[in-house]
Structure 1
Amino acid sequence: MIFEQHFVPGLAIASYLVGDEKTSQAAVIDPTRDVETYIQFAKQNGLHIKYILETHVHADFVCGSKELKTRLNDDAQIITSGYGGDDWAQAFADRHVQVNETVEFGDIKLGFEHVPGHTPEHIAITLYDRSRSDDTPWVLFSGDFLFVGDVGRPDLLGEDQKQQLAHELYQSVFQRLDAIPDITEVFPAHGAGSLCGKAIGSRRSSTVGFERKFSESLRPLPEDRWVRKLLDQMPMSPPYFKRMKAINRDGAPIIGPELPGQIRQTAKAVRDRVCENCLIVDTRSKEAFAAAHIPGSISIPNGQNLPTWAGWVLPYDRPVMIVVDDPNDMSSVTTHLLRVGFDDVRGYLEGGIDAWEGAGYPIARLQTMSVHDLNRKLDAEKRLTVLDVRTEKEWNSGHIDGAIHIHGGQLQDRIDEVPKDGPIAVVCGSGYRASIAASFLLRHGFDDVTNVIGGMSAWKAADLATT
């Protein structure tokens, strides 16, 4: 058996390719939208991808099943869950499966278990290597049902459904999982960093037995107590999750082999596009953005956290123009955006910010200060507001006395809570999220905004007071 895990940092997505050496056939499980990696791996290993499987309707990224099938000239079968009713049936699938059905090629047999709780239709996929055992599953592709050290969160569909789903998850964990032996290896759809669980471990695989013995989420409790513990202190979920659910239920538009947005745009064209309702996203470093940027642009530095924060803060109804340090960054920036459903990328600023300045167009700047400067200003400037944009858990672990707390992803909806009658110092963990939040404040007419470089990590390292 050929086995490959493809892991995407940031969104912490894990997808899989399994191949049978006798038949040279393969299956891909929970693919992301950038499907070239599966096509190339299969080609390099002499495999033909015949099956594409989804464990559930994903909420945090656009699934790549339709894209992969199209790139394979439709010579593959998409297989999804047959549970959950019409609201959860992925219409683009060729086959909807239930318990007791199988998919077989060569020595590989794939079975299915219905494990609702994270979502109503969720299935887990068991893999049998019949050259070793026909009745004991070697691998469990657990999707978002079971993670390393955690289980999938049941609250992504809203308050009305979370209690019912939490109780269904309890049944899945303590009854349906009983059919899987301890020795079976667990390969989930996410690792640490994903918002699809509350406390996902850093390892990317485990065994059913190890999780039964050591995972707090699998520790037996009376059902009501287990549900209360599960739902306690659940992290905030980004608003784009609801959009991802709808896209993945109906099927995303096909991208094709050529990435969109790889088009150079002159400074004049970019300026004109702003007037056409095009949003400028500046993916340079927070330091470069602070030094000079296009007025009204949004700072989201390129890197593994770009797709998460794009989903948190960018509107989906606006075309996007990109500012990059290096044109070679555009492929990664576009891929990040496509993973969370931003398809309308119109191009990038040719020549970067230097070209914009050279054309004589206005430049904006974002002030920065050190934590020591902030500490001094707090004593001297009574009107200074410290805006902390970290998570609630981070805030509770220690914050600057007198600061106001608004999660960075909620700033657009709560911007009226930020005082406009004095300077604003924005703080996060290190300065990354603060740059994003500060760019929104500048865009909304706040004219005295500062990013605190180093954030609360630097504040605590300097032994400055927290409460």
Structure 2
Amino acid sequence: MLFHQRFVPGLAIASYIVGDEKSGEAAVIDPTRDVDDFIEFAKEHGLHIRHIIETHVHADFVSGALELKARLNDQATLYCSGYGGENWTQSFADQHVKVGDSVKMGDLRFEFQHVPGHTPEHIAITLFDTSRSNDTPWLMFSGDFLFVGDVGRPDLLGEEEKKELAHQLYESCFQRLTELPDITEVFPAHGAGSLCGKAIGSRRSSTVGYERRFNPSLQELPEKQWVDRLLNEMPLSPPYFKRMKKVNRDGPAIVGVELPGQQRISAQQLFERTCEECLVVDVRSKEAFAAAHIPDAINIPLGDNLPTWAGWVLPYDRPILLVSDNPADVKSVTTNLLRVGFDDVQGHLQEGIGAWETSGYPLAMLNTLSVHELEKKHKEEKQLTVLDVRTDKEWNEGHIEGAVHIHGGTLQESLGEIAKDKPVAVVCGSGYRASIASSFLQRAGFERVSNVIGGMSAWKSAKFPMV
């Protein structure tokens, strides 16, 4: 058996390709939308991808199942859960599988368990290598049902559904999971950093037995107590999750081989608003953005967290133009945006911000503060608003006295809580999220905005007081 786990940092997505050397067939499980890696792996190992299997309707990224099937000229069979009912059946599937169904591939056999709770239709996939054992599953692809050190959250479909899903998740953990032996290896759809769980571990695989013994969420308690514990301090989920659920239920558009966003836009074209409704997204570093940027641009620095923050803060109904230091980065940026459903990337600024500067077009700048400057201003300037855009958990662990706390992902809905006629110093963990938030404040007309470089990490290192 050939086995490959493909991991996407930031969104922390784990997808899998399994190959049977005897038959030359391969199956891909929970693919992302950028499917080249799966195709290349299969080619390198002399395999033909014949099966594509989805564990559930994903919330945090656009499924690549249809994309992969299209790139394979429809020569693979796509399997989705047969438990979706009226609301969550993926009608584009070739086959809807249930308990008792199987998919065979040479010496390998995939079987299915219904493990609702994270979502109603969720299935886990057990893999048998019949050349070794016909009765004992070697691996389980657990999707978002079971993670290393955690289980999937049941609160993503809304308050009404949460209670029923939490009950189903309890049953899946303490009834359905008991059917599997301790030695079965567990390969989940996410690792540490994903918002599909609360406390996912950094290892990317485990065993049923190890999780049964040491996973806090698999320690049996009375159901209400277990649910209360699971939901306590659950992180805020991005609003784009609801959109992704619908996109993945109905089937996303096919991108094809050619990525969008590769067109070069001149500074003059951008200035003359060739793309009248376009949103300018500047993916340069927070320091470069602060030094000079196009007025009203949004800064989301290129990195692992770009797709997550794009999903948090960017509107889906606006075409996007990119500003980057390096044209070679455009492919990576576009791929990251496509992973969370931003399909309408129109192009990128030719020759970057330098072309804009030398063309004599208006420039904006963002003031920056060191934590030492902030500490002094905080003491001396009574009008200063310190805006902390970190998570609730980070805030509760310690913050600057008198600071205003608004999660960076919800800032746009809370602008009225910040005085526009006063200076605002924005702080996060390191300055990354604060730069995103600062760019939105500038766009909303806040004229005296500063990004605190180094954020609360630097504040703590400087041993300044926190409450």
TM-score bracket relative to the smaller structure: over 0.9
**How far off is 1:89 after superposition?**
0.7
1:436 matches 2:413: no
**How far off is 1:328 after superposition?**
0.2
Once the two structures are superposed, residues 389-428 of structure 1 have per-residue CA deviations (whole angstroms, 9 ceiling, x without a partner) of: 0000000000000000000000001111111121000000
What corresponds to 1:337 in structure 2? 337
Once the two structures are superposed, residues 24-72 of structure 1 have per-residue CA deviations (whole angstroms, 9 ceiling, x without a partner) of: 0000000000000000000000000000000000000000000000000
Q: Distance in 2 between matches of 1:329 and 1:71?
A: 24
Does the aligned pair in 2 maintain the 1:274–1:280 contact within 8 Å?
Answer: no
Other structure's SS at 2:413 match: coil
Q: Please list every run of 5 or more consecutive structure 1 residues that lacks an aligned counterpart in the other structure.
A: none
What corresponds to 2:248 in structure 1? 248
What corresponds to 1:390 in structure 2? 390
Does the aligned pair in 2 maintain the 1:389–1:406 contact within 8 Å?
Answer: yes
What corresponds to 2:327 in structure 1? 327
For 2:232, the aligned partner's letter is: D
Other structure's SS at 2:169 match: helix
What corresponds to 1:356 in structure 2? 356
After TM superposition, the score normalised by the length of structure 1 is 0.99
Task: State the number of aligned residues.
Answer: 467
**How far off is 1:142 after superposition?**
0.1
What corresponds to 1:27 in structure 2? 27
Once the two structures are superposed, residues 90-122 of structure 1 have per-residue CA deviations (whole angstroms, 9 ceiling, x without a partner) of: 011000000011000100000000000000000
1:290-301 matches, cutoff 5 A = 290-301=290-301
Q: 1:165 to 1:59 in 2, by over 3 A?
A: same
What corresponds to 2:183 in structure 1? 183
What corresponds to 2:125 in structure 1? 125
Other structure's SS at 1:414 match: helix
What corresponds to 2:107 in structure 1? 107
Other structure's SS at 1:280 match: strand
Report % sequence identity: 69
For 2:24, the aligned partner's letter is: S
**How far off is 1:274 after superposition?**
7.0
1:63-142 matches, cutoff 5 A = 63-142=63-142
What corresponds to 1:424 in structure 2? 424
Once the two structures are superposed, residues 151-201 of structure 1 have per-residue CA deviations (whole angstroms, 9 ceiling, x without a partner) of: 000000011110110010000000000111100000000000000000000
**How far off is 1:86 after superposition?**
2.2
After TM superposition, the score normalised by the length of structure 2 is 0.99
Other structure's SS at 2:234 match: coil
Q: Distance in 2 between matches of 1:428 and 1:466?
A: 14
Q: Distance in 2 between matches of 1:272 and 1:130?
A: 65
Other structure's SS at 1:193 match: coil
Q: Distance in 2 between matches of 1:282 and 1:304?
A: 15
1:144-293 matches, cutoff 5 A = 144-273=144-273, 276-293=276-293
**How far off is 1:275 after superposition?**
6.5
**How far off is 1:84 after superposition?**
2.5
Q: Distance in 2 between matches of 1:391 and 1:81?
A: 34
For 2:198, the aligned partner's letter is: K
What corresponds to 2:453 in structure 1? 453
Does the aligned pair in 2 maintain the 1:191–1:204 contact within 8 Å?
Answer: yes
Other structure's SS at 1:273 match: coil
For 2:344, the aligned partner's letter is: D
Q: Distance in 2 between matches of 1:464 and 1:224?
A: 41
For 2:308, the aligned partner's letter is: T
**How far off is 1:272 after superposition?**
2.7
Q: 1:87 to 1:323 in 2, by over 3 A?
A: same
Q: Distance in 2 between matches of 1:326 and 1:55?
A: 37
What corresponds to 1:372 in structure 2? 372
Q: Distance in 1 between matches of 2:78 and 2:232?
A: 37
Q: Distance in 2 between matches of 1:271 and 1:216?
A: 55
Q: Please, what is the CA RMSD of the aligned residues?
A: 0.7
Does the aligned pair in 1 maintain the 2:84–2:90 contact within 8 Å?
Answer: no
Q: Distance in 1 between matches of 2:207 and 2:372?
A: 48
Does the aligned pair in 1 maintain the 2:13–2:189 contact within 8 Å?
Answer: yes
For 1:396, the aligned partner's letter is: N
Does the aligned pair in 1 maintain the 2:371–2:455 contact within 8 Å?
Answer: yes
For 2:149, the aligned partner's letter is: G
For 1:125, the aligned partner's letter is: I
